[in-house]
Structure 1
């Protein structure tokens, strides 16, 4: 058994109900993806206002899920298979196929799939309001946000509610060779704001917190 493949399954089961909530924010969508009755049509009566963020995310997940399924199927079966149609039923079918295919690829590839699906889950939670959006690090008025200490770009993002932060630069790596993650906190010595990174690094900046 693969721990990463197990995580893929957990994330897919978490994502599917969130997709239902996103579909509810786009008035053109009706029916149930779980029963195979999804269809696109203009809503009648008084539809909910169009939610552009939900629509964009649904499109992103739809396309990326099909590409991820094809990539995993190529690795497992030697071919990408037929491309699925664009319906929401097919999006859910692609996600279910990804769950199964994850058990047939190396652990590192399953972990990559889990990271991708985890990103969809976080984005969905942000759009429906279940999770706070990440924003650039706070800076003094008129000043630029502090750069990432690993790649020196202005790519740090933080969830202000709990201080979790990370670098969104795809090429950025910490001392462990992984995407930098950390947490904003305060020094026990003088109360100054600082960031404790997951690789053990600590950086200080008075206007970070």
Structure 2
């Protein structure tokens, strides 16, 4: 007789993983709600040319505040997805903005100081594949400074026409890495990184703001 569809064998490993996963989600939800209790201001932000290293630097600079990036569904539940579910009055509006590549910033810094900081904040970063070049990068035939002989193969892999001459990496002909408006391929993006050319800008854009003391919500950017 075949096993009933209602019967299912569940290994202890799967059960344990489920319990651990559920606990982690609950811990994260509680951590977000602790942040709501601790901080006066909450912002939803998006990033341009996101880099984990840059976000880590921001966290160090803003060590009196907290950045939350990822697990948006848990964040939505923590805030409350409707007026009936809101952890605090008005948070449902903030929750609805947690769509796409966005995060949360919790802080007690003055609102005007937060706005001023991120209006000016901009960090140069290496462009990635798919980025539209913002300038022409042209190399002239001859020795390439700053490269060790053992990097020749790496440079060839990113399509640079190089060779070794008397132990010095040399560009064998004039070469255009990119022209303004070109969409960078993975090879050209890596070539620019080898050449220490940073075209991208890492920015943080504040989208909306919630103030706990009066449960006010305001849009900051379209």
Q: TM-score, normalised by structure 2?
A: 0.20
* Higher helix fraction (1 or 2): 1
Bigger radius of gyration among the two: 2
Larger RCO, structures 1/2 (Cα 8 Å, 6+ apart): 2
Q: TM-score, normalising length from structure 1?
A: 0.21
